[in-house]
Each structure stands twice: as C-alpha cells, then as structure tokens.
Amino acid sequence: MREYTVTSKSEAETIDIAADLAGRLRGDEVILLSGELGAGKTVFTKGICRGLGLEDIHSVGSPSYTLVNIYSARFTVYHMDLYRLGGDSDITDLGWEDFLGEGVIVIEWADKITVDFPCIRVRIEAGEDENRTITIRDAS
Amino acid sequence: MTKKSRPRTGADSRPAVFLGIETSCDETSAALLTEDFEVLGSVVLSQDEIHAPYGGIVPELASRQHIRSIGYVVAECLTRSGRTLSDVDGFAVTQGPGLIGSLLVGLSFAKGLSYCFQKPLYPVDHLSAHIHSVLIEHPSIPVPALALLVSGGHTSIFLMREKLDVVCLAKTRDDAAGEALDKIAKFLDLGYPGGPVIDRIAAEGTAGTFPFSLPQMSDGSADFSFSGLKTAAVRLIREQELNAGHAALPDFLASFQQAVVDALCRNTKKLIQKIRPRSLILVGGVARNSMLRRDFLSLAEQHNIPAAIPSPGYCTDNAAMVAALAVEQYKQGRRPDPALDLNAYSQFQDLRT
C-alpha cells in the first residue's frame, strides 16, 4: 500500500494528476472517489480516461443519474456513482460487482461503501478558488 | 396521415395496438398505444399512486425492484386499457442505454411476450424514445426539428432530420442540467424531487439578483457544461449562509434556475440559427420546468417556428414514449431483428463540432 497527497491549482492539473495515476493501472482496479459537491470527482475521472487513451474526454459526464457510464479506452472504464443511493443494500442492487475484473471501475461518492477491499481510494478536498488537495491511497 | 392509405393490421380492422415497456432506470412502466398514437393505458410505477400489493415501495434503482413490479405494471396497464395480451399487435422495449440489470428485466419480459404471442418486438433507444415522446401529442411535427433533451441524466441537442433519423449535435461535458438543479436542492435540504421544488420556490423570487456567469466553450461548440454553475452555487450558498428558511432563498433559486435555463436556451438558439429547423422540440424530465417551458416557447416565437413540448407525464421516463417510437417504426415498415440484444451505449451518430 502507498499513500500520497498532491495539490492541484486547476481542473487541468487535476486531469494531469489523474492521468498520471491511470498510466500505472493494470486494467482491473477499482478506484473509489470521494469529495463534496463540486470537488471535482468527474473531472478526476476525465483525467483517468485521458490517461487510458480515451480520445473524447468531453464524453465523460457525471453518472449521478445514469448510474453507470461506460467508455471504451485502453481498458473499458465503468464510471459509476453512488450519489443517489442509500445504504449498502441499494449499492449491492446496483450490481457493480458484475464489472469486477472486466475493466477499470471508477466509483464517485464512494464513501458510502463501508466494506474494505483492495482498491485505490482518492479523496479530493476543495480549498480556496480552484485549489484542490488530492489524497491517493493505493491498496489495489 | 398514412393511416388512411394503409390497411389496418389490428384484429377486426381496428387500429394496431402496441405495448411499450420501460425499465431502463428508476421507473417501471408499461403503456398501450394504438398506431394513431392514442394512449389506451399508461402505468408508471414510481409516479403513480398505485401502492402495489407487494408493499408499495417506490422502485429503487434496482433490477430486482423491476422484477417485482414488471408483471403487475403490465397487467395494470392492460386492465386500464380494457385489453388483453392477445389484442397486442407488437411489443416495444427499451434496449439501452441504462443499467444492464434493469434493462434486462424489461427486455427478457418483452422477449417472452413476443415469443409467446408471436408478435414482433421493437427495440427502442431510451433517448430516442424521449425525443419521440412528442409524437404522442404532436404526431405531425414538421421536420427537420431541433430537439432539446433535458433530464437528470442527460442534456443534449439532437436534430431530427426525419422521424427516425436523429443525430446528436451537442451534449453536456459534465453534469446534466437536471442533475445540477437536483444536487443544489439536495445541498440546501429542500426535499425531493429537487427540480420541481426549486421551480416552485424560484417562482417567488427575482432572477438576476445573484450573479451567475454562463459557461463559455473555448472551442465554440454548442456543448453544455453545468458543473461550473453548480460549484458557483455551492460557493454562494456558503458565503451567504443560505438555507431552506433564508429570506433570500427565492431570489437565489430564481437566479440559479434562470442561469441553467439561459445556458440551455443560448445553445439551442445558436443551433437554430445554424441549422434553421422547421420546428423545436423540448423533452425529458426537466421539460416540466416552468421557466424553461416559458423561455423555450419564447425562443420558438422569436424564430417564428412551432414548438412541441409533451405534457408533464410524458416528459419523465415512461413507456408511452417507448411504444410511440415503435409505432413510428411500424408505420415506416421497419422490421425488427428477432435476435435483438441489450445496448449499453446510445446509438446516435455524433455530429458535434
């Protein structure tokens, strides 16, 4: 396991940080994103997709309502979101475990997952203006 | 209408009847439509006052909830229509995009019915069904039509070149408009569903009181972005310590909602001027929003073209729109492929610039 903290001054920098992380992925990781409203979880996911070679990162949008967005990059990216979900049973109902091992799974609002398992946890904290503190804890 | 020149295929020369099924996300829905787009019966579980015998809970985002509800919803739709399954001339089901597990429930159920009654099954794209929801009340909408689809999950502009020929011209690069509204409502703890609550409170306020700058695409695209507006709203709420009981809340919500509506209308206007469509279409759950309806109609008036907006019940997810799209396919003589499969992606040709 390793843990490190980086700071970002803009959306562009957040995308670079995420793309850098994506460059080290094997293709079957689960990445759990947490951070409050507007912290930049979807922006971070855009960066992961760019790092995985997705051409049109404009197509990466929030899955809060669609629940799952799927992108074909170097690995398939399953972009999910627990924003609208309540407890653990709702989350199990979502069936996200079906995608395990099929590609990179990115889950927003992941602090709702209470069980521990091998994954990469990313916490984004908003500071002044566009500043963000990003903590990455890799236990994948 | 073509119906006059074509022989009726329904039993006893009655108009043919189509059963639509929708399970792509939260709603379990079934509707029966005639080939003339007349709705004989429509049931939407999460919005209806039905409290089904299995406990009456609102289906929660989950395939197993759809499994519990689907049989009941279809049976209730048939009862309300005064028809039976043997009266159905064709089935229609949402094929995607959506949650695989949820889609699979509707698709399997519809495939079973189609097989059992030996009637065709029309696969329907969820977003295309939203766009074609206008056909229920405006079957003769002039094409090419520019369609703004706004919901919790999607915000896109499509061009309906012909009724079944639809291409995507713009979409959101981050949040959907409905999502931005709902998330701010939830952040302020205003209750659910957030969009209609904001609409109601905003009606008592004055737009423009709080400053919001509209997102600009540096590449000149008509794509949308609502993430920045959402973050700006969160910042204002914190700075001004706004909450559910605050006196300035109506002004704040009116200003925020107006900014969202302005962004939607500005990009639509840009494409109206570029494409010169013969009509405008506004669909999706947020098409219920009063400010958006007003400004969208005024946009149509400015350009002297008709605008079609479905009744509120056909704006949110529903199976009538699924059946409507199947009716259009049937009228144009399309033969569905019996081996149809799920489709996790939407199928539109992307003509975004």
Question: In chain A, what are the domain boundaries?
Answer: 2-138
Question: Is there a contact between B25 and A66 if contact means CB atoms under 8 Å apart?
Answer: yes
Domain A2-138 annotated CATH 3.40.50.150: no
Is residue B98 situated within a structural domain? yes
What is the CA angle B294-B299-B305, rounded to 5? 115
Q: Are residues B305 and B319 in the same domain?
A: no
Is residue B346 situated within a structural domain? no
What's the pLDDT at B152?
Answer: 87
Mean pLDDT of chain B: 89
Q: Are residues B276 and B214 in the same domain?
A: yes
Q: Are residues B156 and B266 in the same domain?
A: yes
Mean pLDDT within B5-18: 69
pLDDT at B25 over 90: no
Q: Which of B104, B183, B184, B346 to mutate to test the interface with A (most CBs of A within 10 A)?
A: B183
Is residue B284 situated within a structural domain? yes
Q: Which residues pair with B99 in a beta bridge?
A: none
Q: Are residues B82 and B179 in the same domain?
A: no
pLDDT at B304 over 80: yes
User: Which pair of structure tokens corresponds to residue B210?
Assistant: 């709080």
CB of A95 within 8 Å of a chain B CB? The answer is yes
Report the candidate in B142, B165, B166, B146 with the shortest Cα–Cα distance to residue B157.
B146
Which of A41-55, B140-154, B207-221, B293-307 has the weakest average pLDDT?
Answer: B207-221
What percent of chain B has a predicted confidence (pLDDT) above 70?
90
| CATH for B220 | 3.30.420.40
Q: Are residues B296 and B321 in the same domain?
A: no
Question: Is there a contact between B174 and A43 if contact means CB atoms under 8 Å apart?
Answer: yes
| ipTM for the whole complex | 0.85
**pLDDT, tens digit, for every residue of B162-200?**
999 999 999 999 999 999 999 999 899 997 778 999 999
- From A94, which residue of chain B is nearest by alpha-carbon distance? B62
Q: Select from A61, A70, A93 the Cβ nearest to the Cβ of B174.
A: A61
Is residue B291 situated within a structural domain? yes
- From A97, which residue of chain B is nearest by alpha-carbon distance? B101
Question: Is there a contact between B101 and A98 if contact means CB atoms under 8 Å apart?
Answer: yes
Measured distance CA(B222)–CA(B220) in Å, rounded:
7
Question: Is there a contact between A90 and B60 if contact means CB atoms under 8 Å apart?
Answer: yes
Distance to chain A for B214, nearest Cα, Å:
16
- Best mean pLDDT range from B56-65, B97-106, B135-144: B135-144
Strands in B29-34's sheet, in edge-to-edge order, are B39-44, B29-34, B17-22, B90-96, B121-125
Q: Select from B97, B154, B183 the Cβ nearest to the Cβ of A37.
A: B183
Q: Which of B173, B187, B226, B256 to mutate to test the interface with A (most CBs of A within 10 A)?
A: B173
**pLDDT, tens digit, for every residue of A83-92?**
877 666 666 6
Is residue B78 situated within a structural domain? yes
What's the pLDDT at B56?
Answer: 29
Distance to chain A for B75, nearest Cα, Å:
25
Q: Select from B60, B176, B178 the Cβ nearest to the Cβ of A93.
A: B60
Q: Which residue has the tokens 């759809």?
A: B66
Q: Which of A50, A57, A67 to mutate to test the interface with B (most CBs of B within 10 A)?
A: A67
What's the pLDDT at A86?
Answer: 66
Is residue B23 situated within a structural domain? yes
**pLDDT, tens digit, for every residue of A60-111?**
999 888 778 889 999 999 999 888 776 666 666 666 777 888 999 999 999 8
Range of the domain at B238: 142-309
Mean pLDDT of chain A: 90
CB of B223 within 8 Å of a chain A CB? The answer is yes
Q: Are residues B129 and B37 in the same domain?
A: yes
Q: Are residues B164 and B289 in the same domain?
A: yes
pLDDT band for B46, please (50, 70, 90 cuts). confident
Q: Are residues B151 and B287 in the same domain?
A: yes
pLDDT at B48 over 50: no
What's the pLDDT at B101?
Answer: 79
Distance to chain B for A125, nearest Cα, Å:
13
Question: Is there a contact between A61 and B171 if contact means CB atoms under 8 Å apart?
Answer: yes
Q: How many domains does chain B have?
A: 2
Q: Are residues B80 and B204 in the same domain?
A: no
Q: Are residues B260 and B321 in the same domain?
A: no
Residues of B in contact with A58 (CB under 8 A): 173, 223
Is residue B341 situated within a structural domain? no
Question: Is there a contact between A62 and B61 if contact means CB atoms under 8 Å apart?
Answer: no
